Amino acid sequence: MKNLFAFFYGIRILSLKRRKGEKTRPKMLISIVSIALSLIPVIVIIVVTDGMIEGITSRIIEFSSGHLQSGVDFETEADLLSKEKDILSGIPEVTSAYLEREGLGLLFHNNNRSVISVRAVPRDLYEIDPGFARYVKCSEGTFSLEKRNQVVIGEALAAEFSIKVGDTIRVYTFRGGFVPGMSASLPRVTRLSVSGIYSVGYRELDKNVLFVSYQDGSLMLPFKNSTTTYKIKVRDPFMDLNALSLEIEQLIEAKGAFLRTTPWTYINRNHYSAYQTTKWLLVFITIIIVLVATFNIMSSMIMVVLDRMHEIGILKGIGAKPGSIMLSFVIVGFCTGLCGTVLGVGAGLFVAVNINAVISGIEIIANAVMTAINWISSIFSGSFQSQQIQILNPEYYLEKIPIRIEVWEVSIVCVFTLLVSMLFSYFPARMAAKIRPLEVIRKH
């Protein structure tokens, strides 16, 4: 094997055994450690943001938008809707499809009021849509819309209005006409009995939505003052839904009508692209840290080359080719990058998988410190103020961060780190390859 010497020599340079009076090996160790440390935040960010994006996106598409939506323009097209149901049931990818009406209302309770979104859904939604049932859990009561004027409300909304299961709430909606001689719209007041309080695990979705049956909702929300859609769920919401929506539109068109069918990626594109942009921005910033850490390889290796200049000169004197010397040092750079990558990715994955425990631990420590500081300051001020630190405010984030490891993304980070390690080792390697044996021998 022609390059055996390069491997033999490169591995020996990398050996962590310290030579007498020499400081270069710990320097390579420092490079390994700095690469590993810089990779931890990259991996954590990738895994956690992927988990967060998937967690929030899944909740939004299962709870709110559905996987696909067919817009329904006119109430008179009831016949067409039944046709669409037939069409959708014939598509194997479709798991469920149901009619939903959504409109605004005003919730009155305990002298409080708030604008809320009223969603009129099938009475058996919890049974026909497993995706919805997976994310929407009732903390009190059940998701029951069987009886007339039953309502299920979000946990955050219930907490804000002090609503409990069994309470009666009033919801004002618009009738659709106007008061004669005035520009004000005619209101409709509906008394609803709370049968359940749900939580999606994402506060944003729990604080302003209430569910009623489609029959009740049809009375509360006139067609013209609300949005009526067909919500369609498929086996894999992350498949190419554009092709499927086109297929549905064509099938409906064949029946003599046209209904625009839109995938969730389009409906939620602002949310989704904002999450993705934030994620890649964070990855980009942390990649800069990796670049700086990897740059350390170059300075460490220049030290190694200077330290071993004499040795390299001798090796070239006894016939080592410049290419072999260069390869030896590139191998050192590669192995340094590899060790750092293995350690960093391992540690990063460990932290990412245990991120909920890590955050809880940090919160416990931070709160203990804050309590101690407040207690000490209370000795002088006479008043004790208790402040609880929350790293991730559940108002805006998921209550528990899901973990999603995308192997391809982690692989790209690994490959990138290794390539950059080799690139940065190229310059000292070239420097080593250019050492002239005679100069070294003369200097000695």
Q: Name the residue nearer to other proteins (CB basis): 21 or 92.
A: 21
Nearer to other proteins, 259 or 301 (CB): 301
Amino acid letter, 226 = S
Residue 149: closest CA among 126, 181, 171, 133 = 171
Place of tokens 């929506």: 245
Helix (H, G, I), strand (E, B) or coil at 170: strand
Tell me if 390 sits within 8 A of 203, measured CB to CB. no
| CB closer to other proteins, 393 vs 442 | 442
Closest-CA residue to 333 (of 3, 6, 4): 6
The neighbouring-strand residues paired with 187 are 174
What's the rounded Cα separation, in Å, for the pair 200 and 137? 6
Q: How far is the CB of 377 from other proteins (least distance, A)?
A: 59
CA 416, CA 411: separation in Å to the nearest integer?
8
Pick between residue 119 and residue 316 the one whose CB is nearest to other proteins.
316
Using CB under 8 A as the criterion, which residues of the chain lie in contact with other proteins when the complex forms? 1-5, 8, 12, 15, 19-20, 311, 314-322, 324, 437-438, 441, 444
Nearer to other proteins by Cβ, of 9 and 143: the residue is: 9
3-state helix, strand, coil split of the chain in percent (to 5) is: 60, 20, 25
- Compute φ and ψ for 212, nearest 5 degrees: -130, 170
Tokens of 419: 């390539």
Could you give the CA distance from residue 89 to residue 344 in angstroms, rounded to a whole number?
49
Kindly state the DSSP code that residue 328 receives in the 8-state scheme: H
- Residue where the block lists tokens 């590139």: 330
Strand stretches in 200-334, DSSP E: 209-213, 227-234, 261-263
For residues 239 and 441, which CB has a smaller minimum distance to other proteins in the complex? Answer: 441
Cβ 5 to other proteins shortest distance, Å: 4
Is 105 within 8 Å of 113 (Cβ atoms)? no
When the beta carbons of 8 and 74 are compared against other proteins, the nearer one is 8
The nearer residue to other proteins, 141 or 437, going by C-beta atoms, is 437
Q: Residue 428 Cβ, how far from other proteins at the closest point, in Å?
A: 18
| Least distance from other proteins to the Cβ atom of residue 34, Å | 24
Tell me the C-alpha distance between 194 and 212, whole Å: 10
Residue number, 8 or 396, with CB nearest to other proteins = 8
* Residue 104 amino acid letter: L
Report how far residue 175's alpha carbon sits from residue 171's, in angstroms, rounded to the nearest whole number.
12
Beta carbon of residue 431, minimum distance to other proteins (angstroms, whole number): 16
Taking the complex as a whole, the smallest distance from the CB of residue 269 to other proteins amounts, in Å, to 59
Q: Give 24 or 245: the residue with its C-beta nearer to other proteins.
A: 24
Residue number with CB closer to other proteins (54 or 311): 311
Phi, psi at 147, each rounded to 5°: -85, 165
Contact present, 107 and 169 (Cβ < 8 Å): yes
Rounded CA gap, 189 and 172, in Å? 5
CB atoms near residue 103 (< 10 Å): 20
